[in-house]
Amino acid sequence: MNQKQLRFDAAFAQLHLSLSGKTATVVMYHDLVITVAYHDTHVARLFYNKQDTEHFTIRLESDGRLTPTIKRRINQVFTAIGAQWRIVQEGKVWYVVSNEFDSIRLPFVDGMTLLV
């Protein structure tokens, strides 16, 4: 097993530990994809990319429901896997902001992907 696979498995373990027991939240691991679901929304999917030796890809979803709990779950995923991103809200608009560079600020879009 390579270092990246070990990191991916550790990410699943950390997500499971951090989010198990949270209301209506499930963490699943199947075919090199980690999915965090809140009710019936897959708020985050972490993909193991065989072509990229360093990074994983994370896909973010809200199913059009920009609720405080979905935002909190996505931020909990970022924290659990040590990603340098967070979701912030200004008025009714969500942004994905870099923890390292506040100048990196992307409008949140359902289905958006980031490297982590």
Q: What is the pTM for the complete model shown?
A: 0.93
- Structural domain tally of the chain? 1
Instruction: Kindly state the helix (H) or strand (E) to which residue 87 belongs, with its residue range.
Output: strand 85-90
Instruction: Kindly state the helix (H) or strand (E) to which residue 97 belongs, with its residue range.
Output: strand 93-98
Q: Predicted confidence band at 114 (pLDDT cuts at 50, 70, 90)?
A: very high
- pLDDT value at 17 more than 90: yes
Provide the domain limits for residue 105.
3-115
Q: Predicted confidence band at 74 (pLDDT cuts at 50, 70, 90)?
A: very high
Q: What is the largest CA-CA distance in the chain?
A: 45
Mean pLDDT for all residues in the chain: 94
> What is 23-75 written as a DSSP string?
TTEEEEEETTEEEEEETTEEEEEEEE-SS-SS-EEEEE--TT---HHHHHHHH
36 vs 20: which has the higher pLDDT: 36
- pLDDT value at 39 more than 80: yes
